[in-house]
Amino acid sequence: MIFEFEVKMVDVGVPVWRKIQVDSEHTFNELHEILQVAFEWENSHLYKFFVKRTHGEQPDTPVSIEPKVEVQFFDESFIDTYDDREEILSDWFQLTKDRAVYMYDFGDDWHHEITLLRILKPEKDVQYPRCIDALNLAPEEDSRFEVISGTAKLEFANKKTLVKEINEEFKNDLPNLFTTVKQNALTKTFEDILVKAKEFHKLKPWEKLSEDEFFVVEDPKTGVPILCSVMGSMGDVYDTYGIKMYVGATGIQTALDTMNETGDESDLYFNERSIVLSFENRDDLEKQEYQLIKSNDISFRGKKAWPAFTSYKPGYWPWSLDEEEIRLAYFALDQAIEVYKNVENVFNPQEGKVLARIPQKTDEQYLFESEWVQLADLVKEDEGEEIPLAVSELEVKRLTKQLKRIPITVEFGFDFIDYPFEDQPNLRPIFPLIVLAVESKNKQVEYQNLVRDHELDTLQNQFLNMLEELEGIPEKMFMDAKTARIMSPLIKKFNINVQTEGYQPTIKKIIEEILGDN
């Protein structure tokens, strides 16, 4: 995507500003380079960025994005500081009117107010960064006294010439940044899905399609299946209109478990993988949802007509859509509209099968064709794909030599806890995992820990920690199938007898008892 910024200098006597368009995936360090050229600075002083408004809100604590230095000259313990070579513009500028201040030369103290005006698609054959408007000259280096005394000559009447000169300097001085952002049939923006959402709502597909008339859309980029269910045929009861899009094998399995009323309710909540579009009243939207809609040029009005998109990922708090999910939602909505328009022709359900819209590439576009596919095939994991060993081979060898087999049976597993936390402001909160090992006979907890990520190496390391805590290798272990699959390399290495069939977990009950005591 392309960000259009207005950058104004502060307290220089006359209006001095630039309107520039840059790639949203640039770092703040690259934005610094662009601003140096746009204002004809010589990059001879220190600089930093202060984030003033992000995701439509003022940060709870001051945020500085600056070059990484070994020694701090001032006490900045009260400021959240980030490396400008690592921070991406799109992580901080999410909504129009999000703002930052670029401070250059801590002696002369030149302040540049940066405001996000628009989020755009890249134009064909246009090179970025580019300046589209400008007014007056920036002060020269080390000229604060001249500005204060009024002797600095900053007025420049010919805006067209100024813009042309800045763009020529972009091309000459920033060859590594001056590129053409290619358009791609698979690249979609939030504005694109707003257009599709408006078209979808206008058709009112819930008047023809019921919640149990599933269909599948295959993502053209990854081949991931998206199982779609239109919401609203029972609107008089639930007053919910929209579409639910279950993503991949994990998402489709939760859809089937929900439909068949199998599985634990909390498991379905924590493990759901879906994208939901619901149509709400304006007053029911979250503030950020409303601001995001208003920052695009698509208008909505009326009761139950305002689109709200929500992402559900296993182990994470419900959140706004990321770039990949925007693409998935776009193609799912696009094909949901086609299914609705041809509902009389395409819906002829066959036992065990579901209608699928499969993409076929022609030139630079994708055309979709209808097929009937086995629903069961969409949830099968690749059994031939082995789970890798994600922990140290040396550590495993050390423990296999050190630990002896002990005559106990242990239940091992982990589960999410409904206490989400976030490491940084505006990052998606995550549900922590509690890891437990319980002696089966007397239900005594032999090992417990709380972990803040769900990565494979973290989980496998918890298994090793459990063995060290036990000071031995259990004669027998109980696990659910998912846990056994994750731990399969370690089960093999330690030659442990693991039983999954008929397993009745006690871990959930113990977790409830632990949390109830706190």
CA angle 512, 505, 495 (to 5 degrees): 130
**Does residue 9 sit in the same domain as residue 127?**
yes
Cis amide leading into 129 (omega within 30):
yes
How many other CB atoms are there within 10 angstroms of residue 6's CB atom? Answer: 16
CA distance 98 to 118: 10
**Does residue 155 sit in the same domain as residue 226?**
no
CA distance 330 to 131: 31
| Residue 387 placed within a domain | no
In this prediction, residue 311 carries a pLDDT of 97
**Does residue 213 sit in the same domain as residue 361?**
yes
Domain final residue, candidates 147, 180, 213: 180
**Does residue 195 sit in the same domain as residue 315?**
yes
**Does residue 171 sit in the same domain as residue 302?**
no
What residues contact 465, with CB distance under 8 A and at least 6 apart?
Answer: 447, 449
| Residue 155 placed within a domain | yes
Domain final residue, candidates 153, 180, 207: 180
| Residue 386 placed within a domain | no
Which ranges of 279-376 would DSSP assign to H, the alpha helix?
A: 287-294, 323-341, 343-346
The pLDDT tens digits of the residues spanning 348-403 come to: 666 778 889 999 887 677 899 988 888 888 887 545 468 999 999 999 999 999 99
| Residue 299 placed within a domain | yes
| Residue 397 placed within a domain | yes
Number of domains in the chain: 3
**Does residue 475 sit in the same domain as residue 356?**
no
Q: Using a cut of 0.95, tell me whether the model's pTM lies above it.
A: no
**Does residue 161 sit in the same domain as residue 199?**
no
**Does residue 67 sit in the same domain as residue 31?**
yes
Please report, for the domain that includes residue 419, its CATH number.
3.30.420.10
Q: What are phi and psi of 116, to 5 degrees?
A: -80, 115
Under-50 pLDDT residues of the chain:
382, 384
| Residue 201 placed within a domain | yes
**Cβ atoms of 489 and 512 closer than 8 Å:** no
- Looking up tokens 């930052």 gives 100
| Structural domain span for residue 230 | 190-379
Q: Give DSSP secondary structure letters for 389-457.
A: P-S-HHHHHHHHHH--EEEEEEEEEEEE-S--B-SSTTSPPB--EEEEEEETTTTEEEEEEEES---HH
**Does residue 415 sit in the same domain as residue 482?**
yes
HSE toward the beta carbon, residue 190, CA cutoff 13 A: 25
In this prediction, residue 163 carries a pLDDT of 96
Give per-residue burial for 346-369: e unless 16+ CB within 10 Å, then b: eeeeeeeebbbbbbeeeeeebebe
| Mean predicted lDDT score pLDDT of the chain | 89
Which residues on adjacent β-strands are paired with residue 355?
A: 215, 372
In this prediction, residue 70 carries a pLDDT of 61
Q: What are phi and psi of 478, to 5 degrees?
A: -110, 135
Domain final residue, candidates 180, 214, 230: 180
**Does residue 263 sit in the same domain as residue 294?**
yes
In this prediction, residue 350 carries a pLDDT of 65
| Residue 388 placed within a domain | no
| Residue 385 placed within a domain | no
**Does residue 175 sit in the same domain as residue 232?**
no
**Does residue 21 sit in the same domain as residue 135?**
yes
